[in-house]
Structure 1
């Protein structure tokens, strides 16, 4: 153990390998901790959701009923959340978890996140005056949007749709965030692919650094008669300290998050400190496992083989000449091949497309290596003509070792492709989702629909709260035996004139109407058939069994006062007004799906950083070997700028070239998925995050490489080699 402790710092590049092992242990610990905390977050959310779910009285009529309970939905910035109307049936009725006291009639209790985000939208008075905040034990997540509302009159609650409840604690998912979150399997797969695998790659690279020196040491120990146990202890002694430091760094965020709620960047998701603290034993075991894996891997990869060597050897720089020629055919096959070859079969389309993507990403690093070789030859000619020694030396090294460049960029390119594909597949929308998004872009807030209740006095009270410029229409629909929709609209004469219709014989409207608001209504509610118009009072429109809606338009064609409409709807019209633009229910789904991109960006940036760090550290080790060979040049000339130039050409350029070509190739490969049939979208935020991450790492590697090369030159002394 003592031999290993000192040996790791006495060989060349020992300091760089020490840093690499620290980073590897930290990254692996962080990745496994993220996996453990993902499970803990889902368990905590399920426990808190179960604790607040109402126990329906009909499921156990022998118990006394304590409250009326009715769930509804509302939205802020197209993000949907639950609104719960509740009224106690006795003074001793138990409170829902998270509430300290019953709100008075006409008051609401909001979650902290809803009160903060919705203040500018009038949420503090939308359901009645907000009288308090929901405690964290009553929320699925600390940042959940949720409101409990006690109406001014208990009769406002719809007895046919509401539940009479005995208490709280029913299992399952009934309301709140759990209705919209992805399954744990999806999140765990994302963490495994974008965090754990790059962390393992970084660990392998860190262990393999300084391979030649450790190979000689292992062979020497074997020749001296050292047993397998002794050689293993030497390797453990070398690895223990960096592995311990890295594990401590990797587990530090979890220790912090166990004492305070932490909001994750990009996603805005707040991790519950209670969930983290409750799973302390699990993530500490994960940290211990990470420590053991790093130490064990270092020992296994340094084992002696039967031929007298070890599993570690310094890699060469040769590059197969034919491999880059596959790349253009792989791109062409991926972009143009899936659609004609699949013949409309979605599974076969995705299978062919995935195979093409894998082949493209496998061959792209060799193309970059070929480009680096060509650039190297050009640089050597330029350096020879201009007398720029750094350019000349770097050019010759690049031209002679393209395989090293391939290893530098291969993992980075694969990571970019993996993140890009995960983002694309997570953003795929069905035709209904895509149509809802397009409709929202065309309409904005110029038209709103609400579910109209039967009592006419509620409709009149609601309309009295609206501005004078808002026109109301009652739309009723019926589905006949042939599954055909028959829709009609009834409104006052003034309202019909606002949409340019006469009061005597108002013409129907359809999907081709010049008014885009009317055409969208026909498209979403009548299945493309014309909608009939008639004159009559809105509050007493004839009811049908298939739905009745209030349609609101502005007489001047301007956007509607949405916040004022929602306040009037939730206090005067109904607990479940379903206030939305046409196709709004589908639009909420697009918002939920779009939030996946933020998670992909978060884990993707972390995975890219880990992969880029692994490759950069490996490249720095290669550059240190290279800089030792040109150290006499720096000593004899007395110029240190030569190392800035050589590091820029051999480290910075390949990383930036890989980032540029990787992102460009990802954009090419996205075209089959971004067509309207498949419905995926390319996220500019994810691409920008990846570009920024790689650029920062590339410049950091260039700076560290230059400084390390200068330090090598400062310590260089002539040797008899």
Structure 2
């Protein structure tokens, strides 16, 4: 152990390998901790959701009923959340978890996140005056949007749709954001692919660094008669300290999150400190396992071979000749091949497409290596003609070692492609989701539909609260004997004139109507059939309708005051008004799916950072070997800045080229999935995050490589080699 402890610091490149092992242990610890905390978050959400779910009286009629309970939905910025109308039936009715006291009639209790985000939308008075905040134990997670509302009059709650409850505590997800989250299996798969695998790749690269020096040491120990155990302990002694330091760094975020509620970047998800603290023993064991994996990997990958060497050798710089030629055919096959070859079979389409993507990402690094070799020849010619020594040296090295460039960019390209594919597949929408998004883009806030109750006095009270200029129409839908949807709209003469219809014989409207608001109504509510119009009061509609809505339009086609409409609907019309634009029920799903892109960006940026770090450290090690060979040039000429140009050509250029070509290739590969039939859409946030990460990593590697080469030159002394 002592031999390994000192040998790791005396060998060439020992400091760089030390940093690499620290980074590997930290990345692996973070990845394992993310797996543990993901399971803890789901478990905590399930427990808190079960504790607040109502026990329906009909399921246990022997127990006394304590409250009326009715669930509905509302939204802020197209994000849906639950609104619970509740009223006690007895004097000592138990409180829902998270509430300290019963709100008075006409008051609401909001989650902290809802109160903060909705302050500018009038949320503090939308359901009545907000009288308090829901405690964390009553929320699925700290960032959940949720409201408990006690109406001013208990008769406001719809007795036919509401539950009479005995208390709280039923397993499942009956309301709240627990209904909209992905399964733990999906999240675990994402973490494994975007965090754990890059961390393992970084571990292998860190262990392989400085392989030539450790090969000589291992052979020497074997020649001196050292046993396998002794050689293993030497390697453990070398890697134990950096593994421990990296594990401690990787645990720091978990310790922080166990004391303070941390909001994750990009996703705006707030981690429950209680969930993190509750699983402290589990993620500490995971960190210990990560440390052991790093140490054992460092030991296991250094074994003596029968020919007297070890498994780890310095790799050559040759470039596979035929791989670059395969790349254009792989791209063409991926973009054009799946559709004609699958014959409409979705599974076969995705199978062919995935094979093409894998082949494209496997051959792209060789293309970059070929380009770098060609650029190297041009740089060598330019440097020789102009006398630029740095350009000459870098150009010749690039031309003769393209294989090293391939290894530098391979993982980076694969990581970019992997993140891009995960984001695209997670954004796939069905035709209804895509139509809802397109409809929202066309309409904005120019038309809203509200569920109309049977009570005409509530409709009159609601209409009295609407701002001037808002026109209301009563829309009734029914299904005839032939299973056709028959929809009609009734409104006063002034409202019909606002949509350019005469009062004598108002013409029906359909999907081709010049007014986009009317055409969208026909598209979503009548299956494309025409909707008839008639003159009459909004509060009196035919009793034959199965579905009754109020349609709200601005007389001049302007955007409607959505916040005022929602407040009037929840306080005057119904506990379940369902205020939304046409197709709004599908639109909420598109927002939830768009949120998945933020998680892909978060894990993808972390994974790409780990992969880029691995490849960058490996490249720095290669550059250190190269800089030692040209150190006499810097000493004899006295020009230390020669390494700035050399590192720029050999490190910065390949990384930037890989980033650009990787993103461009990802855009090509996205073409089949962005077809309207498949329904995927690229995320701007993910692309921007990837670009920024790659550029920062490229310049950091260039700067570190330059400084390292200069320091190598400063310490260089003539040797008898």
TM-score calculated relative to the size of structure 2: 1.00
Q: Tell me if the contact between 1:445 and 1:560 (Cα under 8 Å) persists in the aligned partners.
A: yes
1:54 is displaced (CA, Å) by 0.3
Correspondence list, 1:199-348, <5 A = 199-348=199-348
Q: Tell me if the contact between 1:109 and 1:130 (Cα under 8 Å) persists in the aligned partners.
A: yes
Partner of 2:406: 406
Is 1:709 aligned to 2:685, yes or no? Answer: no
1:482 is displaced (CA, Å) by 1.9
1:16-44, CA deviations, whole angstroms, 9 ceiling, x for partnerless residues?
A: 00000000000000000001000000000
1:281 & 1:539 partners in 2: Cα distance?
62
SS in 2 for 1:450: strand
2:111 & 2:626 partners in 1: Cα distance?
60
1:11 & 1:467 partners in 2: Cα distance?
79
Q: Tell me if the contact between 1:454 and 1:543 (Cα under 8 Å) persists in the aligned partners.
A: no
Partner of 1:471: 471
Partner of 1:371: 371
Q: Tell me if the contact between 1:631 and 1:713 (Cα under 8 Å) persists in the aligned partners.
A: yes
1:320 & 1:133 partners in 2: Cα distance?
64
Partner of 2:21: 21
1:316-355, CA deviations, whole angstroms, 9 ceiling, x for partnerless residues?
A: 0011111100000000000000111111111111110000
1:303 is displaced (CA, Å) by 1.5
1:249-284, CA deviations, whole angstroms, 9 ceiling, x for partnerless residues?
A: 001100010001000000000000000000101100
Partner of 2:140: 140
Partner of 2:171: 171
1:311 & 1:68 partners in 2: Cα distance?
71
2:230 & 2:163 partners in 1: Cα distance?
71
1:306 is displaced (CA, Å) by 2.3
1:305 is displaced (CA, Å) by 2.1
Correspondence list, 1:584-603, <5 A = 584-603=584-603
1:619 is displaced (CA, Å) by 0.3
1:638 & 1:695 partners in 2: Cα distance?
31
Is 1:552 aligned to 2:546, yes or no? Answer: no
Partner of 2:437: 437
Is 1:100 aligned to 2:105, yes or no? Answer: no
Q: Tell me if the contact between 1:251 and 1:287 (Cα under 8 Å) persists in the aligned partners.
A: yes
Q: Tell me if the contact between 1:33 and 1:254 (Cα under 8 Å) persists in the aligned partners.
A: yes
2:151 & 2:502 partners in 1: Cα distance?
41
Partner of 2:512: 512
1:577-605, CA deviations, whole angstroms, 9 ceiling, x for partnerless residues?
A: 00000000000100000001100000000
Partner of 2:424: 424
SS in 2 for 1:196: helix
Q: Tell me if the contact between 1:476 and 1:543 (Cα under 8 Å) persists in the aligned partners.
A: no
1:635 & 1:238 partners in 2: Cα distance?
32
1:209-250, CA deviations, whole angstroms, 9 ceiling, x for partnerless residues?
A: 000000110111011110111111100000000000000000
Q: Tell me if the contact between 1:257 and 1:271 (Cα under 8 Å) persists in the aligned partners.
A: yes
1:543 & 1:329 partners in 2: Cα distance?
65
Correspondence list, 1:552-571, <5 A = 552-571=552-571
Partner of 1:666: 666
Partner of 1:197: 197
Partner of 1:113: 113
2:529 & 2:177 partners in 1: Cα distance?
37
Q: Tell me if the contact between 1:67 and 1:164 (Cα under 8 Å) persists in the aligned partners.
A: yes
2:469 & 2:588 partners in 1: Cα distance?
28
Task: Show structure 2 runs of 5+ residues with no match.
Answer: none
1:277-330, CA deviations, whole angstroms, 9 ceiling, x for partnerless residues?
A: 001011000000000000000110011122222111110001111110000000
Partner of 2:396: 396
Q: Tell me if the contact between 2:446 and 2:557 (Cα under 8 Å) persists in the aligned partners.
A: yes
1:705 is displaced (CA, Å) by 0.4
TM-score calculated relative to the size of structure 1: 1.00
Partner of 2:356: 356
Instruction: Give the stretch that moved more between structures: 299-308 or 192-201.
Output: 299-308
Q: Tell me if the contact between 1:71 and 1:175 (Cα under 8 Å) persists in the aligned partners.
A: yes
Q: Tell me if the contact between 1:75 and 1:81 (Cα under 8 Å) persists in the aligned partners.
A: yes
Q: Tell me if the contact between 2:449 and 2:552 (Cα under 8 Å) persists in the aligned partners.
A: yes
Is 1:630 aligned to 2:633, yes or no? Answer: no
Moved over 3 A (4+): none
1:56 & 1:433 partners in 2: Cα distance?
33
Partner of 1:90: 90
1:464 is displaced (CA, Å) by 0.4
1:41 & 1:245 partners in 2: Cα distance?
27
Instruction: Give the stretch that moved more between structures: 99-108 or 308-317.
Output: 308-317
1:580 & 1:684 partners in 2: Cα distance?
26
Q: Tell me if the contact between 1:57 and 1:163 (Cα under 8 Å) persists in the aligned partners.
A: yes
1:544 is displaced (CA, Å) by 3.1
1:545 is displaced (CA, Å) by 4.8
1:90 is displaced (CA, Å) by 1.1
Q: How many residues align?
A: 721
SS in 1 for 2:565: helix
1:491-542, CA deviations, whole angstroms, 9 ceiling, x for partnerless residues?
A: 0111111111111111111111111111110010001111111111111111
Partner of 1:125: 125
Is 1:41 aligned to 2:21, yes or no? Answer: no
SS in 2 for 1:552: strand
Q: Tell me if the contact between 2:490 and 2:537 (Cα under 8 Å) persists in the aligned partners.
A: yes
Partner of 1:161: 161
2:701 & 2:72 partners in 1: Cα distance?
54
Is 1:686 aligned to 2:709, yes or no? Answer: no
Partner of 2:386: 386
Q: Tell me if the contact between 1:508 and 1:533 (Cα under 8 Å) persists in the aligned partners.
A: yes
Q: Tell me if the contact between 2:476 and 2:545 (Cα under 8 Å) persists in the aligned partners.
A: no
1:362 & 1:605 partners in 2: Cα distance?
21
2:369 & 2:15 partners in 1: Cα distance?
28
2:252 & 2:62 partners in 1: Cα distance?
51
